[in-house]
Structure 1
Amino acid sequence: MAVFVTAGVKGGSGRSTIAEHLTVWLARQGKDVLLVDADDQATVSDFTAWREHTLDGNVGYTLVQLLGANLRKQVETMKPKYDHVIIDTGGRDTTSQRAALFVADIALVPVQPRSHDVWTLTKLTKVLGEIQATRSNQLTVHSFLNRADITSADNREAAEALASMANLGFLPHAIKNRKAFPSTGAKGLTVFEAEQPDQKAITELNDLFDSVYNARINSTTEA
């Protein structure tokens, strides 16, 4: 069992899209998943509403909306009922995000390969450091490029910057900025469920999620 949180202090990095796809990726493997919307903008709630309409109510997971410091206690109470919990947070340093980081096992940090996005990582590492200092166990952090250009020097430079920050656990599995994401998301679907699947997008996500999930299994086994 694992609690995942999508985190960051910069808007527009695609946290909600990653949360939605990880939720469905796990659900398609037969896992009972709870998706927690801890973002004021309620993006994953809107996604789920469209999904319910498209799939006649059978979204494949449970959605709840939780905000504020109480989120930590509520997730702790609910998590024994599920195989995994995914918490989507907003792009700011909020009480909700800090509560999510405290209760989570794994933080996923998507980063756009743009200078302004990379510059904000010092703020995030400060937040993560404060959270780590108050936890009884270590929060596992995985950062990766998201909404990356298909081919660009920006990708390489941003990857190098992330890799230099040891506490951000950089994974070399970039998710490219592909049309498949908005076109499926508008219907409440993921790229895994498209009528004409974008195999490159699917492969990128599988590589990322396999890496995160396998690392979790290995760390749990070693413990």
Structure 2
Amino acid sequence: MIISVLNQKGGVGKTTLSVNIAARLAADSARVLLLDADPQGSALDWAAAREGESVFPVLGLPRATLHKDIGKFTRDYDHIVIDGPPRVTDLARSAIMAADLVLIPVQPSPYDVWAAQEVVNLISEARIYKENLKSLFVVNRKIVNTAIGRDVGEALAAYETDLLRSSVSQRVIFAEAAAVGKAVFELEPDSAASKEISALVNEILEQ
């Protein structure tokens, strides 16, 4: 499966989700590649912070030809995760066309809900050429036990994109893991953050 993690609004946690999803897939003995299609190179920075060998390769490919170039990798990997760019550009369109599934992280904020419209529009355009393309919202950086964390699901219902049951909360361990180039389950396998990522990946694989 090729999963593109995209939202035109910056700061929604695309890279955090991308690296942790990739790491969780790789931990289950899958062959996983993480492609950094963000010109800022955050996933590459994450990999560079790691001491020792990574459980999966991370390659930079911030090109608008990504959907054409990705064929070079599909035979060698079970899953490819694409950490997408933070703006609606030709590169974002290419990352959508490359994907089987577009995962749209949304923080529990009205600004994020409004900003999601542009990505949804791009996905609709892409379905003209790729009718089986799937897309899903995931609530990320949810503040535990707050009303806005619950209400965002109702706000997203206005879009023709399903919302995953699983969500990921705002937790310090994500920043701690990123600082040393690791996934959260590598630091604390039994933590709430690790369980949230596992539940998210399991639900994605059900699609």
Q: Same fold (TM over 0.5)?
A: yes
Identity level (%): 30
The two structures, once aligned, show a CA RMSD in angstroms of 1.3
**1:113 counterpart residue number:** 108
CA contact (8 A) 2:6 2:102 kept: yes
Q: Distance in 2 between matches of 1:69 and 1:186?
A: 29
Residue 142 (structure 2) pairs with residue 143 (structure 1) = no
TM-superposed deviation, 1:78: 1.6
**TM-score after normalising by structure 2:** 0.95
Could you list the structure 1 runs, at least 4 aligned residues long, displaced by more than 3 angstroms after superposition. none
**1:42 counterpart residue number:** 41
TM-superposed deviation, 1:172: 2.0
**1:176 counterpart residue number:** 169
CA contact (8 A) 1:159 1:172 kept: no
**1:193 counterpart residue number:** 186
Where does 1:48-87 land on structure 2 (aligned, <5 Å)? 48-51=47-50, 54=51, 56=52, 58-87=53-82
| Equivalent of 1:159 in 137, 153, 160 | 153
Amino acid at match of 2:199: D
- Equivalenced residue count is 207
**TM-score after normalising by structure 1:** 0.89
- Please list the CA deviations of residues 60-83 of structure 1 after superposition, one character each: whole Å capped at 9, or x if unmatched: 112211122221111012211111
**1:219 counterpart residue number:** none
Which has more helix, going by share of residues?
Answer: 1
- Please list the CA deviations of residues 28-71 of structure 1 after superposition, one character each: whole Å capped at 9, or x if unmatched: 111111110100110000001112xx2x2x10112211122221
TM-superposed deviation, 1:134: 2.3
